[in-house]
Structure formats: C-alpha cells, structure tokens
Amino acid sequence: MKICCIGAGYVGGPTMAMIAKQCPEISVHVVDLNQSRIDAWNSDELPVYEPGLYEVVREARGRNLTFSTNVDQAIAEADMIFIAVNTPTKHFGMGAGRAANLEFIEKCARQIAKVSEGHKIVVEKSTLPVRTAEAVKRILSSSSNGATFDVLSNPEFLAEGTAIEDLLDPDRVLIGGESQAAVKALADVYGQWVAREKILTTNLWSSELSKLTANAFLAQRVSSINAISALCEETEADIDEVSRAIGTDSRIGPKFLKASVGFGGSCFQKDILNLVYLCEHFGLREVADYWEQVVIMNDYQKRRFAERICRTMFNTVSDKKIAIWGFAFKKDTNDTRESAAIYVCRDLLRERARLVIYDPKVSKETIVSELLTALSDLSGTISETDRELVQSNVTVVNDAYDAANNAHAIAVLTEWDEFRELDYERIYDTMQKPAFVYDGRNILDRQKLTKIGFEIFAIGKSN
Ligand code: UDX
Ligand code: ADP
C-alpha cells in the first residue's frame, strides 16, 4: 500500500512519520510545495521541534518514509491521499477574521482530480468546517481521467509538544466516512498500533464537527479558568487552589484547568471563529455569540496581562527594559502561531517598552516577523513608526540571564522547564530595582522569589 500526504507541516510531518514507523510495509510519501521545508525534513534540523520526533523520522526516513516536492508523482502513485495543508483564518473578503481559508484544500482537491487514475481514498486530515467534504467530493468527481474516490474525514487530535506521545497512544482515532471499505482500509492502518476499541467511526459530518467541537470545549475550559483568575486577583482566592479544588470533582476533571496568560496555537482561536462563522451562516446567533465569548475572554486575558505590567510598574513602561521569557505558544514546540507572547509584546511595544526576548526554540526571524504582523492591519500594511519600533525596541538573545540583565522586569510567557531552575539570586543582582516578575504561566516559586526581593505578580494571585 502507498500513502501520500500533501502538506509537511506540524500535522502532516509527525503523523506520517508515525504511520511510517509503525507500518514498515506501507510506503509513505510526504509532499509540500515549500522546498526549504522539505529540505529541512530531509536534514538533521527538522522544521518542526517536537520531543522524540527526530528519532521517529530517522528510523523511517529512507526506508518507507520520503519527503519531496513531487506532488503529482506522489498523488499518482498513492492508494490513499491525506490532505494536511493549512486552513488559516481568512484575512480578506467575505468572512474575513472568522471563516477558514479553504483555498489550499481546494487546490489540493483539484490537483488530486487532475493527476489521479483508478480508485483512491482521500483523507481530510486538516481541521475543516463541517460539510467541507461535500465540496471536496464535488471537485474530485470532476476528474477527467475517470478516477473514482472515497472521501474520509480523519481529524488529528495531537497536541504540539506532545505529538509523538499523542500519536503513539491516542485517546481515540476518529474516522468519518460513507464507504465501509474505505473506513476499514484506514482503520487497518491505525490498527497496526492503536487498539480497535479506540478507533471510532462516524458519518463524515460528525467527524468534521467533532474536531471543531473538541477544540472549542478545550479552549472553553482555559477561558473559564482564566475568567476566574481575574476574580482571584481581586479577592485573595488563589487560582491554583481553585483549580485543584474543582478538578477533583470527577465530573470536571483536573486537566486543562491551568490558568495562563491566554491560550495560543494554530487551532483554538481559528476553530472557534470557524464555528462562530458556521453558526452565523445557519442563523444560529445565540450559539455563535456563546462560543465567540471564549475568544473574547482570551483576548481580555492577554490584554489584562500587559495592562497589569504597565499599571504595577508605576503606570509607565516607556523606555524600560522588559525581559520576555518564552515566545512559543506553549513549551516543547517552536510554533508561535497565535502565541499569547505576540500580543503581550505588541501591547508593551505600543507603550514604548524595550523588549529583550529569549526563547529556547524560536528563531529571531520568527519573533520579528510575528511582531511585524501583529502591528500590521488586516491587509498586512504596517506604519513606518511601528516598523521602526520593532527595529529599535526589540532585541532577541540566546539566554534567559542575558535577557534579564539590567531589566526592570521579567515576563514569563511560555512555561519552558528551564525557567524553573535558574539562579534567581544571580538574576536579582543584575536587575534594576524594584525587580518585577510577571509569571504568565504560574511556574515560578513565589515564596522563594519574594524572599530574594523580587516583586512577583502571577495569574490569579492577588498581591
Ligand atoms: C490543541 C488540542 O489540544 C489538540 O487536540 C488539537 O489537535 C490541536 O489543538 P495544541 O494547540 O497543540 O493542541 O496545544 P494545547 O496543549 O491544546 O494548548 C493550547 C493552548 O492552551 C496553549 O497556548 C496552552 O498553553 C494553553 N493552555 C492549555 C492553557 O493555558 N491552560 C491549560 O490548562 C491548557
Ligand atoms: P499544520 O499545522 O496544519 O500542519 P502548517 O502550516 O504547519 O499547518 O503546514 C501546512 C503545509 O501545507 C505547509 O508546509 C504548506 O506549504 C503546505 N501546503 C499548502 N498548500 C499546499 C499544496 N497545494 N500542495 C502542497 N503543499 C501545500
């Protein structure tokens, strides 16, 4: 059997590497239009940082795992084609800022229709609005070579930073489709390492909608606990104690109750906005408003964090040096998409703070590019003043100590483990006084830091 995957990103790359590792008899060909991304997949510096990923890729690459830009050839040879391209929020035209941009999905479907012969199974891996498979099926049915297709929905539930664990031992694998034979063919692939009872099958539309719903529920939990964190800061209740207390209720459960500076990542916001757009489309105003509030609360949490920094630093951060620790949207990934750090930094830059940023896995180019985008309008235009602001007020360094040196404040924006184990006496000595710490992830030892002399502010903790 031959599998092709279109899209060598955070989803396509790790997922296909795992299939290739677990199914040595299946030939897996991952293709992408982006030559430099493919070159990176073929090198020792993978484009995606994920613990354990390199070992999996190294085992399968050259055996039954190939990365290339030969899109047509890979499609033509495959029995099963996964579509794992990006579906970002549209930033133009109808539904701008809400709807998913399905341009890349549609282009893939057209390419598959053009070069396919015989029968193929097409698998939607990307997260898509419910009923996208309808459009995919219609485009595929226009194939001029007489090719026939079954379309399946097989959303990916891996979380970045734990992708390999999640792929090895998923809570469930979801397959939606009409053709029993096609569903079985895909279930047989996962069945090589996933227990059969964990492979759920549904109709196409339930599968598409379940992915959006799962992400909406997860994001809702984070926004719910973050909403309570604001109240904690006013009332001397402690958000970590509240989380523990409610999480022991087996109906609520302990996971995804960690208050933070706000959720980020390529999925949560995009998928909720997508859900909101769909509900609006079907005239479900109340349902749309209900879910939109999860994103509104998240924006509030990010804004509130930057405002708290300004307020507590005597109402001005202008020309003050602030060390930004962490820029990725969570630990153990180099992904910065929708990271809370982007928006906190943007707000601080607008207050004319000088930022010295350190992240163990994110490059300077990525940080600068994210900040320029955040300061641009929807059409991508940025004012000369804002561009200069990024040039003059942002420095990226290779070490947390360097970032903190001579700083007025430290803001922890990603929960990298290394931040827990630094020499805080040394850091305190090198900082301006009072030395402020804003822990946006509640990972630091407040008592210890307070004893050293720091003024520490954390999420959901009153001072
Ligand atoms: C998410 C879903 O978990 C995954 O199933 C889906 O396939 C893709 O979207 P991901 O975005 O990679 O995965 O990471 P996740 O662990 O869900 O974290 C998302 C954001 O929420 C991060 O910014 C994280 O820091 C934040 N978060 C998560 C919290 O602030 N508190 C929590 O308790 C959990
Ligand atoms: P995700 O997190 O969903 O995996 P990424 O943006 O990391 O999203 O990856 C999607 C990949 O899909 C990108 O590398 C992009 O170049 C690729 N891609 C988009 N459209 C096409 C296409 N028509 N053919 C091949 N690759 C594509």
3 state DSSP class of 360: coil
Q: For a substitution probing ligand 2, which of 53, 104, 107 has the most ligand atoms within 8 Å of its CB?
A: 104
Digit-coded pLDDT (tens) for 381-392: 999 999 999 999
Question: Residues 18, 164: one domain?
Answer: yes
State the residue range of the domain holding 346: 220-458
Query: Angle at Cα 219 formed by Cα 275 and Cα 136, nearest 5°?
Result: 35
**Neighbouring residues of 324: CB distance < 8 A, sequence distance ≥ 6:** 341, 344, 345, 355, 356, 357, 358, 403, 411, 413
pLDDT at 344: 98
pLDDT at 328: 98
Structural domain contains residue 213: no
Which CATH number is 390's domain given? 3.40.50.720
Residues in the chain: 463
Question: Residues 244, 196: one domain?
Answer: no
Name the residue among 199, 221, 384 with its Cα closest to residue 294. 221
Distance 394 CA to ligand 1 centre (A): 27
Structural domain contains residue 259: yes
Q: For a substitution probing ligand 1, which of 87, 171, 213, 263 has the most ligand atoms within 8 Å of its CB?
A: 263
Question: Residues 349, 452: one domain?
Answer: yes
Question: Residues 159, 225: one domain?
Answer: no
Q: Is the minimum distance from the CB of 297 to ligand 1 under 6 angstroms? A: no
For 43, phi and psi rounded to 5 degrees? -110, -170
Cβ–Cβ < 8 Å for 328, 414: yes
DSSP 147-208: -EEEEEE------TTSHHHHHHS-S-EEEEES-HHHHHHHHHHHTTTS-GGGEEEE-HHHHH
Question: Residues 225, 359: one domain?
Answer: yes
356 marked as binding residue? no
Between CA 63 and CA 58 the distance in angstroms is 9
Q: Which pTM was predicted?
A: 0.95
Nearest ligand to the CA of 71 is 2
Task: Verify whether residue 267 is a known catalytic residue.
Answer: yes
Question: Residues 338, 447: one domain?
Answer: yes
Q: Is the minimum distance from the CB of 84 to ligand 1 under 6 angstroms? A: no
pLDDT at 128: 85
Residues with CB under 6 A from ligand 2: 6-12, 31-34, 37, 71, 84-86, 104, 107-108, 126, 266
Token pair of 266, please?
């390529």
Domain-terminating residue out of 169, 201, 233: 201
pLDDT averaged over 10-residue windows placed end to end, the chain, 463 residues:
97 98 98 98 96 97 97 98 93 87 94 96 91 90 90 96 97 97 98 98 95 97 98 97 98 98 96 94 97 98 98 98 98 96 98 98 97 92 96 98 98 98 98 98 97 98 91
Cβ–Cβ < 8 Å for 121, 186: yes
Query: Angle at Cα 186 formed by Cα 41 and Cα 13, nearest 5°?
Result: 10
Between CA 258 and CA 218 the distance in angstroms is 11
- Which residue of the set 4, 5, 232, 267 is catalytic? 267
Structural domain contains residue 283: yes
Structural domain contains residue 214: no
Question: Residues 305, 448: one domain?
Answer: yes
Domain-terminating residue out of 201, 234, 267: 201
Q: Is the minimum distance from the CB of 263 to ligand 1 under 6 angstroms? A: yes
Ligand 1, atom 2, lies closest to the CA of 159
Q: How many domains does the structure of the chain reveal?
A: 2
The DSSP symbol for 395 reads E
Q: How many CB atoms lie within 10 A of CB 103?
A: 13
Query: Strand locations in 16-147, DSSP E?
Result: 27-31, 65-68, 80-83, 119-124
Name the residue among 345, 339, 410 with its Cα closest to residue 371. 345
Digit-coded pLDDT (tens) for 278-288: 999 999 999 99
Structural domain contains residue 423: yes
Question: Residues 241, 145: one domain?
Answer: no
For 28, phi and psi rounded to 5 degrees? -115, 120
